[in-house]
Amino acid sequence: MKAFWAIFKARNIEFWRDRATLGWNLMFPVLLIIGFAFMFNNDDKVQYHVGWVGNSDDRAQFLDTTSLRYVDFIEYEDLEAALEKLRYHRVDLVVMPGDLSIQYWLNDDSPSGYITEQLVRSNLLVTAEAASVTGEPIRYLDWVAPGILGMNMMFSCLFGVGYVIVRYRKNGVLKRFQATPVTPFMFLSAQVASRLLVVLFITTSIFTAMALLFDFIIKGNAAALLLIAALAAMSMISLGLLVSARSGSEELAGGLLNLITWPMMLLSGVWFSLEGAAPAIQWAANIFPLTHALSAARSVMLDGGSLVDIAPSLITLFVMTLVFLGIAARLFKWGDN
């Protein structure tokens, strides 16, 4: 018991003396709750999105919106643009009003389309005509697959690098490098290259196997998808290195990485589209590299986008990589002190 008590006491003293970790354990749940409160601060939460083609000022003559809850109406001027959103599950229903009636379109592969249709039809004040989207509708599986792979890359890049660097620092491995001609930028660049090789091998293998199994829609060039994956992985690995550049505590590094991964997983469009979300939420989503990676990947897979079409996303990911890696090299320290 004496040995147990000594270890127990020493670990508690170590934790309380680590002010950074202590502060993080106190602040992280507070920040998480505040973030969720900001995102979901309305008790009448929007669950379904309806694309309304035309002016919404006269919507009251077609729909009784007073009792229509959990539905958000997004205005579109062009029918084809609205139907394109419907094909890609960014809205659940598209409605176009006429003189004395309305016409609406469904995506038969949308799991939310049926419920949205029932909600809208139950509040109609005029007759309605239903139709399905023309052209090839996109399965939800095709839309969500890049998000799942991107999320897997995110965890592998951030946690796979961040914890390793902190452990090297705690074990004194980095201090030995300090006595060599290796510069921080050289060391961090080697970490990026090593982890990039692992992540690309795993992601490519999973994507190839799943594409053969589920017959994903891939309208664009597969080489463009590989380029997107490489740039996305490099940016997120560099971000993980930035987090671990000065941290000497695995607990603190884990908390900081959670602070990054949770918002990125929720706001980058992994599981659902942010179509119709508040402008502040959409602006915040663009801060994360995963947002640009998924946007580019879905453009190539579902729209047949070329390198020119996804160039803004690729440039953004490349710039993020240079910025994260440059700041990490600037802040990097070999030891705990």
Average pLDDT over residues 139-151: 83
Q: Check whether residue 236 and residue 175 sit in a common domain.
A: yes
Of the chain, the percentage scoring pLDDT greater than 90 comes to 11
Q: Which residue has the higher pLDDT, 19 or 314?
A: 314
Of 114, 132, 150, which residue is a domain's last?
132
The pLDDT of 96-104, averaged and rounded, is: 82
**Do 206 and 290 sit in the same domain of this protein?**
yes
> CA dist 24 to 11, 27, 79, 136, 249, Å?
17, 5, 49, 49, 11
- What single string gives the DSSP state of each residue in 161-212? HHHHHHHHHHTTHHHHHHTSS--HHHHHHHHHHHHHHHHHHHHHHHHHHHHH
Rounded to whole angstroms, what are the CA distances from 285 to 158, 210, 256, 273?
Answer: 18, 27, 18, 11
Most confidently predicted of 86-90, 256-260, 269-273: 256-260
Rounded to 10 degrees, the C-alpha dihedral 8/9/12/16 comes to: -170
Inform me whether the pLDDT recorded for 37 exceeds 70.
Answer: no
**Can you tell me which residue has the tokens 């205005």?**
75
* Of residues 79, 136, 85, 87, the one with CA closest to residue 110: 87
Q: Are residues 215 and 117 located together in one domain of the fold?
A: no
> Does 11 score more than 70 pLDDT?
no
How far, CA to CA in Å, does 301 sit from each of 201, 218, 224? Answer: 20, 4, 10
Q: Which of the 8 DSSP states describes residue 59?
A: G
Q: Residue 22 has what pLDDT?
A: 59
Residue 174's CB: how many other CB atoms inside 10 A?
Answer: 21
The whole-angstrom separation of Cα 152 and Cα 177 is 31
Task: Give the H or E element holding residue 35.
Answer: helix 19-39
> So what's the pLDDT on residue 10?
66
Least trusted range by pLDDT, from 153-162, 195-204, 247-256, 311-320: 247-256
Domain edge (last residue) among 73, 97, 132 = 132
Q: Are residues 126 and 144 in the same domain?
A: no
Q: What is the CATH number of the domain that holds 125?
A: 3.40.190
Task: Say whether pLDDT at 317 is over 90.
Answer: yes
Average confidence (pLDDT) over 273-294? 81
* pLDDT over threshold 60, residue 4: no
Is 147 in the same domain as 110?
no
Q: How much is the mean pLDDT over the chain?
A: 79
Do 63 and 146 have their domain in common? no
Q: Hey, what amino acid is at 334?
A: W
Residues 274 and 181 in one domain: yes
DSSP one-letter string for 85-128: HHHTTSSSEEEEE-SSEEEEEE-TT-TTHHHHHHHHHTTBSSEE
pTM here is 0.69
DSSP string of 246-304, one letter each residue: S---HHHHHHHHHHHHHHHHHHTTSSS--TT--HHHHHHHTTSHHHHHHHHHHHHHHH-
Per-residue pLDDT of 41-56, as tens digits, reads: 555 566 788 888 877 6
Based on the fold, state whether residues 178 and 290 are members of the same structural domain. Answer: yes
| pLDDT value for 337 | 56
Together in a domain, 100 and 144: no
Name the domain count of the chain: 2
From the CB of residue 142, how many other CB atoms can be counted at a distance below 10 Å? 20
Please determine, for residue 232, whether its predicted confidence score (pLDDT) is greater than 90.
yes
Q: Name the token pair of 31.
A: 């920040």
How many residues in total does the chain contain?
A: 337
How confident is the model at residue 45, as a pLDDT? 62
Q: What are phi and psi of 15, to 5 degrees?
A: -65, -45
Whether the Cβ atoms of residue 156 and residue 292 lie closer than 8 Å to each other: no
* Angle of CA points 197, 201, 207, to nearest 5°: 145
Asked if residue 154 and residue 127 are part of one domain, the reply reads no
Cβ atoms 103, 96 nearer than 8 A: yes
Banded model confidence at residue 40, pLDDT cuts 50, 70, 90: low
The parent domain of residue 90 ranges over 48-132
Tally of CB atoms within 10 A around 287: 13
- Is residue 74 domain-shared with residue 192, that is, in the same domain? no
Residue 2 in any domain: the answer is no
Tokens found for residue 217 = 């829609």
Pairwise CA distance, residues 127 & 260, whole Å: 48
- 3-class DSSP assignment, residue 307: coil
As a whole number of angstroms, the distance between CA 177 and CA 41 comes to 49
Considering the domain architecture, whether residues 178 and 84 belong to the same structural domain is answered as: no
